[in-house]
Structure 1
Amino acid sequence: MPIVHVFLWEGRKDEEIKEMVKKLTKVFVDMGIPENAVEILVHDVPKTRWAIGGEFASKKFRNI
């Protein structure tokens, strides 16, 4: 069974997350994997805990 971890900056709406989970699940179903075998874990990470190139996303992407 596939286990998918998705790391995102926190702040997305529940409906956006639900839609993403449906679409990711469909990718595996289209490959012949039963829907109930697909596990998806969504990790909402604050920009203050996510660094890119040595700089926190809260600073580097403050307008996003």
Structure 2
Amino acid sequence: MGSEVNGLHKRQRYSTALGSAREVMACVQVAQAMRYIETVHPAVLDRMAHVIATLARLVYRRAS
């Protein structure tokens, strides 16, 4: 989705995706803490963290 638009709109789309990814991570953490789900495989959490970090770099990079 973000790759289909240009300039500021692209950054806004990545920002929305970043917020959603962070929300998903928080929901997984709460679900684990409340014991709604069992432990999530560490590789899945690492992949989620990688996606969040990638989106953060796209959103917060300096404008060129």
Normalising by the smaller structure, the TM-score range is 0.3 to 0.5
- TM-score, normalised to structure 1, is 0.38
Q: TM-score, normalised by structure 2?
A: 0.38
Which one has a larger percent strand, Structure 1 or Structure 2? 1
Higher helix share: 2
